[in-house]
Structure 1
Amino acid sequence: MITVKYKTNLHCNSCIKTITPALNKMDNVDFWKVDLNHQNKILEVNLDDDNKTDIIPTIEGLGFKIEEL
């Protein structure tokens, strides 16, 4: 398992509700959380493998900015 952190422009619970179905549907995502209190709105994702290639396009496809830290 690996943990990957991303800087995002998520800013509220509505944003989190928007990304929830997409992240929950991903087979290799075990757990994820967003720290809205951090200035970079950190999305932390625990993956059960090292395939993190789908995270960025998935979140960008929902209209948000995201970059790996």
Structure 2
Amino acid sequence: MKQYQFKTNINCSGCVAKVTPELNANTGIKEWNVDTANPAKILTIETKNLGQDELKAIVEKAGFKAEVLA
């Protein structure tokens, strides 16, 4: 498993609800979480076989920004 973190603009429970179907629909994503209390709105994704670019595209498809954190 690989874990990636992204700085996002997923700000509230409504935003989380909007991105949830996109992330849950992908079988390559094992687990994910958004820390909306963190000023950077950190999205952590644990994946079996997806890369950073693929994960970023999924978040952007839902209408949000995602910046890869080193």
After TM superposition, the score normalised by the length of structure 1 is 0.91
Question: After superposition, where does 1:1-69 map in structure 2 within 5 Å?
Answer: 1-69=1-69
After TM superposition, the score normalised by the length of structure 2 is 0.89
Q: C-alpha offsets along residues 19-38 of structure 1, whole Å, 9 cap, x if unaligned?
A: 10110111110000000011
Look up the equivalent residue of 2:63 and give its one-letter code.
Answer: G
Q: RMSD over aligned Cα, in angstroms? A: 1.2
How many residues are matched?
A: 69
Q: How far does residue 50 in structure 1 lie from its aligned partner after superposition?
A: 4.8
5+ residue gaps, structure 1: none
Distance 1:49 1:2 in 2: 8
Give identity over the alignment, percent.
Answer: 32
Distance 2:53 2:18 in 1: 20
Q: How far does residue 48 in structure 1 lie from its aligned partner after superposition?
A: 1.2
8 Å contact kept, 2:29–2:50: no
**Closer, same or farther: CA 46–39 of 1 in aligned 2, 3 Å:** same
Q: Secondary structure at the match of 1:53?
A: helix
Q: How far does residue 54 in structure 1 lie from its aligned partner after superposition?
A: 1.8
Look up the equivalent residue of 1:51 and give its one-letter code.
Answer: G
